[in-house]
Structure 1
Amino acid sequence: MKVWGAGDVDAASAGTLRVGQQDLVTPLARERARELGIDIVLAAPNPPAPPVSPPPAAPPSRNAPPAARPPSGRGSVPAMRPPSGALFRRGAPLPQGLAAGGGGTGRVIVVGAGHVGMITALRLAGADLFDEIVLVDIDEGRAAGVALDLAHTAALGCFATRVRGTGAVEDAGPADYVVITAGRPRQPGMSRSDLVSTNAAIVGDLAQRVARTSPDAVIVVVTNPLDEMTQHAWRSSGFPAERVVGMAGVLDTARFQALSALAGAGRADGIDAVALGSHGEEMVIPLSQARSGARPLTELVDRAALDAVVDRSRGSGAEVVGLLKTGSAFMAPGMSAARMVLAMARDTGEVMPAAVLADGTYGIRDVYVGLPVRLGRGGVREIVELDLTPDELSALRDAATRIKDRLRQLAAVS
């Protein structure tokens, strides 16, 4: 079996890419073929037999039974169909029979079988969208055990996605999406920045290995300190920036929505807001953009109370760490990472905040920082520019500057 990527499509000659019966064609390769007008042709399993003239037909008998239909495909090349569900765009329905044994198309790797990785895998499997979710952990027994436990919930969760665990990225197989949760978690009294050197070594190594085994994947980084680790993963992988994103804004936004609901702003899922900037002290929530239904949040909640909600959202991660005593938040982070992957796999074009490489929008460039982006199946489609107030824009730019300072420190210790 061979895995065909986008590079193979680029190198195809005469407008045709011939693949074997058992070969796997990645979704990105399929999209690239459509863009270039390349036909993906499934090779016949055996050379077709030379035509044989049929014997003269006997006169039909009135009492003779109807001729039996020959078995499908016998003596001829089978009808053209993709050799794998991976040929289809992510999230598209599969023809009958191709999804047997799996819930959808494609594979997602979740690196790290700790609590965050477990919740991420649970949500992704429950979506019944992918063929397979693979948990990877240096503790192979933990990865396999969590995966088996999760697989046992298939009937309870009504999904057909396969789930397995392994000890190395290389054993997981090529994937469409790779979520990196591995790393040392925060302990009480630790800041996210205290984890820089330890987690940089882990994330950098993983990004390089992912690039070798899943060259067309989108990487979603969850490891802290989030902004710095996402930029480090981008540099280590060599991937285009649109295929390396960090999960922070979705989580921070969810925290703000939940806390605003507690303050009387309405249901959490009816609050429209966005958390930008850094995943930490420089988090920026533009209140000019915050709504509950059609009404601005500033009309529903006293401004002092709303400012207190912003401050608590900013420190919610540390608050959870302090309450747990050991370990850090995992339910909301895991759900947030899964939501990003599902939005990309379904190609919804949904706008959500993510740590991405700034391209000059908002006057920020060449640093990973939380910005509103439109996501598609191949990662970031575009950075979306909101109409921020001067104070909000200044705070966002300050966050980018602070992240750049920390990245210089990371470079000094690397």
Structure 2
Amino acid sequence: MKRKKIAVVGGGQIGGILALLVAQKELGDLVILDIPDKENFIKGKALDIMQMRPNDGVDVALSGNSDFSAMEGSDVVLVTAGMPRKPGMSRDDLLNINLNIIRNVADQVKQHAPNALVIITTNPLDAMVYAFYKLSGLPKAQVVGMAGALDGARFRTFIAMETELSVQDVSCLVMGGHGPSMVPLVRTATVGGVPITDLLSAEQIQAIVKRTQDAGTELVKLYETGSAYFSTASAVIEMAEAYLKDKQRVIPSAALCEGEYGVNGLFLGVPAVIGGTGVERILEFELSSEEREMLDATVAAVSKTVEETGL
């Protein structure tokens, strides 16, 4: 059986970790794409991982290229290209720089991999996935942003740290924009089925919610020269694997809303079903008045950033 083909656009920290995880999970053959000035660097990353395969016992092929035609026929395109945040920068500060990058990537994907599922990580995430969708003309099922998969992982992490219980048993949902206005839904958070409201004080829970909303900024300050990459790559792989293996996973993702939760024409973090045809549907449920108010606030923030793209 022919192996799947995966293209990673952007060979920096996230791109390199994505390549490693794709190889370790044997999800398919992979090509890392970047600008000509970085071609030797990404070829080196690909070759380095190729030489790791015997120790891991995996059989996939990896290569690096600056010619975007190398993504021809890809089943999945993982877009990490763009300038990362630095201390003092907001996600919105990156908009104009990264919009030009997304414009070029959209043209290349439309030409060389029009049937691929495209997962965007470039910030400001909600605006960049919207821009890619508009510029590429791809169907909505094929375009999705990495949002709640990472935000939810952060929420789960902080709950596990505070309760000192296994992160494996923590379940929760984060909706909304991929930024400080995101909505960690406390009533969905449980540990082994037990609500966290029975395990933690209101003050502890509020501190976890705030830390989840600011988690990206916390890492930017600690790294000083970049932003999250290990956790980001892991979240992207979770989404890609759900598609490649038709797992019908419910993964909070920045999907195009067309009436769901009263939102129209925006990519927003919602519980999305990811399977063999891409984003197959969005799951809806009744929000409380407080949750509705928080979601309205994040929709307003996302709308403002999307308007700045001019698309």
Pairing partner for 2:123 from 224, 228, 232: 224
Quick check: 1:396 aligned with 2:295? yes
**Kept in 1: contact 2:126–2:306 (CA 8 A):** no
**Kept in 1: contact 2:131–2:309 (CA 8 A):** no
Corresponding letter in the other structure for 1:232: A
Q: Pairwise CA RMSD of aligned residues? A: 1.2
Distance 1:397 1:106 in 2: 39
Distance 1:232 1:167 in 2: 23
Quick check: 1:286 aligned with 2:215? no
Distance 1:308 1:153 in 2: 41
Displacement after TM superposition at 1:177 (Å): 0.5
Corresponding letter in the other structure for 2:34: D
**Kept in 1: contact 2:71–2:113 (CA 8 A):** no
For each residue in 1:66-96, what CA deviation from the matched residue of structure 2 results, as whole angstroms up to 9, or x when unmatched?
Answer: xxxxxxxxxxxxxxxxxx62xxxxxxxxxxx
Displacement after TM superposition at 1:156 (Å): 2.2
For each residue in 1:142-197, what CA deviation from the matched residue of structure 2 results, as whole angstroms up to 9, or x when unmatched?
Answer: 11011111111112222101111111221232200000000001011000000000
Inter-CA distance 261–194: structure 2 relative to 1 (3 Å threshold): same
TM-score by length of 2: 0.96
Partner of 2:217: 318
Corresponding letter in the other structure for 1:227: D
Alignment of 1:365-380 (within 5 A): 365-380=264-279
Unaligned runs of 5+ in 1: 1-83, 86-104
Bigger proportion of residues as strand = 2
Partner of 1:41: none
Which of 189-198 and 149-158 deviates more?
A: 149-158
Corresponding letter in the other structure for 1:392: E
Partner of 1:106: 4
For each residue in 1:374-410, what CA deviation from the matched residue of structure 2 results, as whole angstroms up to 9, or x when unmatched?
Answer: 1012210100013332211221122112211211122
Displacement after TM superposition at 1:106 (Å): 1.3
Displacement after TM superposition at 1:215 (Å): 1.2
Quick check: 1:116 aligned with 2:11? no
Alignment of 1:9-408 (within 5 A): 85=2, 105-130=3-28, 132-138=29-35, 139-264=38-163, 266-408=165-307
RCO higher in 1 or 2 (8 Å CA, sep ≥ 6)? 2
Distance 1:257 1:145 in 2: 35
TM-score by length of 1: 0.73
Bigger proportion of residues as helix = 2
**Kept in 2: contact 1:353–1:372 (CA 8 A):** yes
**Kept in 2: contact 1:265–1:297 (CA 8 A):** no
Unaligned runs of 5+ in 2: none
Distance 1:234 1:190 in 2: 25
Corresponding letter in the other structure for 1:406: T
Distance 2:135 2:172 in 1: 32
Identity of matched residues, %: 33
**Kept in 2: contact 1:363–1:397 (CA 8 A):** no
**Kept in 2: contact 1:135–1:147 (CA 8 A):** yes
Distance 1:119 1:390 in 2: 40
Q: Name the SS for the 1:287 alignment partner.
A: strand
Which of 367-376 and 169-178 deviates more?
A: 169-178
Corresponding letter in the other structure for 2:167: A
Distance 2:135 2:42 in 1: 25
Displacement after TM superposition at 1:112 (Å): 0.6
Distance 1:151 1:343 in 2: 24
**Kept in 1: contact 2:31–2:70 (CA 8 A):** no
Distance 2:83 2:17 in 1: 17
Distance 2:158 2:187 in 1: 17
Displacement after TM superposition at 1:135 (Å): 0.6
Displacement after TM superposition at 1:265 (Å): 5.8
Corresponding letter in the other structure for 1:157: D
**Kept in 2: contact 1:120–1:334 (CA 8 A):** yes
Q: Name the SS for the 1:380 alignment partner.
A: strand
**Kept in 2: contact 1:265–1:292 (CA 8 A):** no
Corresponding letter in the other structure for 2:14: V
Distance 1:357 1:320 in 2: 28
Corresponding letter in the other structure for 2:193: A
| Number of aligned positions between the proteins | 309
Which of 164-173 and 222-231 deviates more?
A: 164-173
Corresponding letter in the other structure for 2:32: L
Would you identify which runs of 4 or more consecutive aligned residues in structure 1 move more than 3 Å? none
Q: Name the SS for the 2:8 alignment partner.
A: strand
